[in-house]
Structure 1
């Protein structure tokens, strides 16, 4: 009999799951608001890298019309003492090297960590030594670690992997995501070169300041690992998307002639043939240039698989929801480093979050009413 993935119909007297949020930018704020709205979760505090945010009331900082009585803390060790979290949601950076210090502190305190740093979706793809070290640290302290997000973490990897489940043979994969960067904060926009001149964009590429999409190698690593493929090499190409109209977001204004985003393509070669091709043109306010967003996956396989949808699955909302929805899965997971391909499939875990955490009587799945 398959193991039930839920507890009994009522969480009984279990204490709420205390959650610490790292980062109070657009993504951290979105996750904090979702934690507040989800029964069974308790927003225990927030830690911000910017010292100027220290002492601000968290409610005001994340856009609520009321105070929460929770001051934002700058020092992570202090935040841990104040909040005593069971789970931490990290939304402070994109790269493994930038995320690692915070993650290590959290793991040493036995806190389970969900990070939306793109390179953490499959850290072994770019730094297997660091990935192994984080895995050991998590195991040593009985903690667990997961990188997730809409992409990498779902559209161009986990969804692709799931679709291959109906295939007897897979020859090649092509997936494309045309999306709107407007919901994202300064870090993501800077990585894409948004607001630069085309000349500054190319200079930024040469100097490593403009990187395009962070996550192609992680997505390719997840797909190849799931299929048992060995990739020979990965080729990437980045081109500026130059705007012909004025575009504005809360974080940037793009004038005509400036860069609105980046068209980034990655091709993974296997046995002399392109096996995985990922295409990701990202820009702010694409609708102002007449560009529709959407997600498309094509698998050359037996049987062939095609899936497309428009508009895109919204990146900001999707990433925040994935992070919060994966909390029960991470609490159920064994200690160590995990990827989205390792854990049960994500789902909108509605109602009281505690009822999805293993323990107690697992004989019956809860009804919707039980968690409301």
Structure 2
């Protein structure tokens, strides 16, 4: 069996991390890397600042260089957070009969906010005999899939609280912009009032994913966003906040079912939280039969967690039936320590 072929579209913090990880794995080859500007034409190993003497060092190229019919088994897209921003890229990949894994938060459950585009992606995927998945650490795992896995041991669920206190430091410039890192409180509130402040992207997706999986009907879903103002200077690899500026966002969401608060999501996230004594962690608290009180601290690091999810879901999206998939449609994620080819149904591979 030939090695699994992967193209990476976007070599920012996440895409570069995916490349570094894949180059350490067995039975898998990077056959394309797409970016723009000064990265184009440079060897991939130079862009990711690593050397791999036993792997092919391909040049970073454009979409025209690498998005061609049956060039790879999977294209991993790490560009932005939104369905609309990813749609044309996904469409082009599907029309060239390759599977897609996207890191875009809205792609984790695209019908939550973009039902028409979700339906079109599903149609294109089925028409071309391939599959599409959006995933990451959150949404995609910690605040939704992990919650659902824990409810598997319950006979009844009355209320769910999912809380993640995490560091934004591993994430790239796009996330820093979305979170308003480095803004003054006044500028943050102005952008928020104008609807230009994204904050955490994914609450709608997480809540709708859980509601649909559990079979409950949402009456309403509300979200709230408040800036986290730092009292000390902070600097991460991709963002910086001086004292008095925005170092993160405190996000929360409430999902109502039968007139009661059924889903409570709390998600304060900031750069360099340890500088101000903030302990990170992941928490699943379920009022049910029996009760659940799951605590993991410190947090599962967001950057590494997202990279791992994108990589570990490669065999599962290859094996999937054609169409748009979510994390509740596929087998649960797990680390792959052996040869990736052993996890794949050869008959499902578009690249042979």
TM-score of the superposed pair, with normalisation by structure 1: 0.90
Contact 2:108 2:205 in 1 (8 A): yes
Contact 1:118 1:149 in 2 (8 A): yes
- Pair 1:144-2:131 in alignment: yes
- Pair 1:291-2:291 in alignment: no
Shift in Å, 1:82: 10
Equivalent of 2:85 in 79, 98, 113: 98
Equivalent of 2:20 in 33, 38, 46: 33
Equivalent of 1:252 in 231, 234, 239: 239
Contact 1:44 1:83 in 2 (8 A): no
- Pair 1:271-2:233 in alignment: no
Aligned to 2:57: 69
Q: Structure 1 stretch 205-214 or stretch 261-270: which is displaced more?
A: 205-214
Q: Aligned partners of 2:32, 2:304: CA distance in 1, in Å?
A: 21
What SS does the aligned partner of 1:291 have?
coil
RMSD (CA atoms): 1.4
Q: Aligned partners of 1:94, 1:156: CA distance in 2, in Å?
A: 17
- The 5 Å alignment of 1:224-263 reads 224-263=211-250
Shift in Å, 1:251: 1.5
TM-score of the superposed pair, with normalisation by structure 2: 0.95
Cα distance per residue 1:128-154 (max 9 Å; x no partner): 111011001000000100000000000
What SS does the aligned partner of 2:267 have?
strand
Equivalent of 2:184 in 179, 182, 197: 197
Shift in Å, 1:359: 4.7
Aligned to 1:173: 160
Shift in Å, 1:209: 2.4
Equivalent of 1:51 in 37, 40, 54: 37
Contact 2:3 2:29 in 1 (8 A): yes
What SS does the aligned partner of 1:166 have?
coil
What SS does the aligned partner of 1:306 have?
strand
Equivalent of 2:75 in 73, 76, 88: 88
Q: Aligned partners of 1:58, 1:38: CA distance in 2, in Å?
A: 16
Shift in Å, 1:271: 1.1
Cα distance per residue 1:263-285 (max 9 Å; x no partner): 00010111111110111001000
Equivalent of 2:334 in 347, 351, 371: 347
Unaligned runs of 5+ in 2: 348-352
